[in-house]
Amino acid sequence: MKFIYQDLLNFLEEKPSKEELSKKLFQLGHEHEIDGDIFDMEITPNRGDCLSLLGLSRDLNNFYGSLDTCRIYNGDLDILDIDFKNLSTKCCAKISFLEIEISKKISPYKQYLENYFSLLGINKTNFFTDVSNYISYERGQPTHCFNRDSITEDLTFTNKSCDEDFKTLLGNEIKLEGKNCVFTSGDKIISLAGIMGGESTACSKKTQKVLVECAYFNPEEIIGKTVKYNLKSDAAHKFERGVDIESQEKVLRRFISVVKDHASIKSLKMKTYTGEAYKDKYLSIESKKINKILGTKLIKSDYTNYLSKLGFEIGDKIKIPSFRHDISTQNDLSEEIARIIGFDNIKSIPLKLNTSPDLKQNKITMIEDFFVKNGFSEVINFPFAKIDEKESISIDNPLDLNRKSLRTSLKNSLIENLLYNERRQKDSIKLFEISDIYKKQEDILQEKRLGVIVSGRCGNNHKDFSKKLDKKYLNKILNQDNETSIFEIEEISRENLKTKKREKIFYTEISLDDISDTLFSDLIASRKLINFIEYNPVSEYPSSTRDFSFSIKNPAEYNNVLSIIDNFSSENLKESFIFDFYLNEKIGEIKVGVRLIFQSKYKTLSDEDISASITKLLKPIVNLDGVFIPGLELK
């Protein structure tokens, strides 16, 4: 979101310099860049209330005072007679319509409106659409203008299954598929709700009479639609983050005032439809708890005063403003206070750590060491899942609305990890994760579990290269051939997975409490040193494999061959290993199969790129006494 410095000052009682304003915005958590008088903001997804001049001024109220002096039309409005039906009130809890007709003559744009387009580099479209865009910038509530004369039949909002073509007001032709929130007139879809209107009802420079729609859409119904249909929509960006359901009448009255600044109004009519009444939300006043969370010593009056200036109403309890969808717990309130005080201004207190041995952590360390020793890689996954099961615990204010339930199992995450590695041409995948899962039972169950998944070759060495990872492999290392199996191993079907691979997938998951403390203890030495491995970004470019057979008739040169390969330096050689080894003792000859895997971080390697690296590597090898590569011709 971009805003003009002077525009925001108009919403503040005090007039800070750009430097002072920038400092406070950073303190509040609003990252940004400044180019002249333009602030380019990066508003976090949970703060949709700050995607406007009004919203930012409310957040700055504790520092500079919020000031909303915009003219609002206060005259009487006739009741709009419109044949409208809301068939999906869960998707659209409240919606208002304003019908407004003007005379033909539109005066030049006032300075505040002209600056919005000229200084922010936004193209003008037509008068009513321009006003709609400005209102969204000023107040954070998107509106949509239908050409009133183009709607000759009933108007309906619904969330329905679609399989039809739709042409947007920008001329994009898209295929609507699956469930979509739409407005229809007759049997025709005229708008993709919350995203973009249709060409058939779009306004033009000649439009004099419009129907302005101002709605609250459930964010979950809007999220992902712009990506799905490859559309760019400022309205969707705001609806995805939640708008103020209680602001509709004021927004439309402000819309009228802006129109009145530029044209003579012939008629005004408005009507609001409420499908599900908004329920006020409250939290108790617990200043002591806030101090405990933050390590502060705020008195109650200062605490409530901070909140009051942020728009919270203080009574016997704290009433959460309708525009603050991100507030639901005392922790959320503590974050508000921390932002106002400034995290850097809260005195740090040394942590008192329990240095006594942690038996559970020792157990985790032993398990981690065991799997690493057996060639496994540990993964750490996001604790939230896409799948919402009966026992799932959902979060009210998740960072990602597509992942709002805590995991009840590690399985799906590890399957995603495996498929990610397969798509990057890994042919030996051995992964494990130790993490908490949560379930909703009589009480909330929190359980630390171990998940293990394997597929492909046993390893990239000559002993394991031709062996496959299977149930027998896992059973041998995990159950250690005991009569009673502790780990139950299952095969995961590939039928519903997005993959072309055919190697079998095996998986096991178990609670750490079900693993004996001594199961791995006799196999693992205590961890003494931490081996820090530098992170290397995963290349998105394909890898290429080359296999070579070395005939070493002078066995004394075997170690020299390995040394040259191990010490070869090339940014394109990702991996090398011996996949076959044979010693002919009768004639004193060693035959070695070596696989070279090439991959670049920056591009798809050509045959010429790979050949150049191969020549550089193999030339010193074939110059060794008694070393040959049958069929090789180096350029």
For the residues of 105-119, what is the DSSP string, one character each? EEPPPPHHHHHHHHH
Q: Domain boundaries in the chain? A: 2-64, 84-115+122-274, 282-345, 359-514, 544-628
Q: What is the pLDDT of residue 529?
A: 55
Superfamily of domain 359-514: Bira Bifunctional Protein; Domain 2 (3.30.930.10)
What would the CATH number be for the domain defined by 2-64?
Answer: 3.30.56.10
Here the tokens at position 547 are: 């296999």
Q: Please give the class, per CATH, of domain 84-115+122-274.
A: alpha beta
How high is the mean pLDDT of the chain?
91
**Mean pLDDT throughout 85-104?**
96
pLDDT digits (tens, 9 = 90+) for 317-360: 999 999 999 999 999 999 999 999 999 999 887 766 666 555 56
Look at the alpha carbons of 429, 430, 434, 440 in this order and tell me if their dihedral is positive or negative: positive
Q: What is the pLDDT of residue 496?
A: 87
Q: What is the pLDDT of residue 508?
A: 96
Q: Rounded CA gap, 225 and 623, in Å? A: 62
Q: What is the pLDDT of residue 465?
A: 77
pLDDT band (50, 70, 90) for residue 480: confident
Q: What is the pLDDT of residue 315?
A: 97
Q: Give this prediction's pTM.
A: 0.62
pLDDT digits (tens, 9 = 90+) for 7-25: 999 999 999 999 999 999 9
pLDDT band (50, 70, 90) for residue 87: very high
At residue 532, the 3 state secondary structure works out as coil
pLDDT over 60 (residue 527): no
Please tell me if the domain spanning 84-115+122-274 has the same topology as the one spanning 282-345: no
**Which strands sit side by side in the sheet containing 428-440, from one edge to the other?**
377-378, 428-440, 444-456, 505-511, 490-492
- Kind of pairing between the strands at 188-192 and 173-185: antiparallel
Angstrom distances, CA of residue 172 to CA of 159, 162, 166, 183, 189 = 21, 17, 8, 17, 15
Contact 145, 165 (CB under 8 A): no
Q: Rounded CA gap, 574 and 536, in Å? A: 11
Q: What is the pLDDT of residue 462?
A: 73
Q: What is the DSSP letter of 78?
A: E
Q: Rounded CA gap, 345 and 339, in Å? A: 10
Q: What is the pLDDT of residue 356?
A: 58
pLDDT band (50, 70, 90) for residue 100: very high
- The CATH-assigned architecture of domain 544-628 is 2-Layer Sandwich (3.30)
**Mean pLDDT throughout 462-469?**
81
What would the CATH number be for the domain defined by 282-345?
Answer: 3.30.56.10
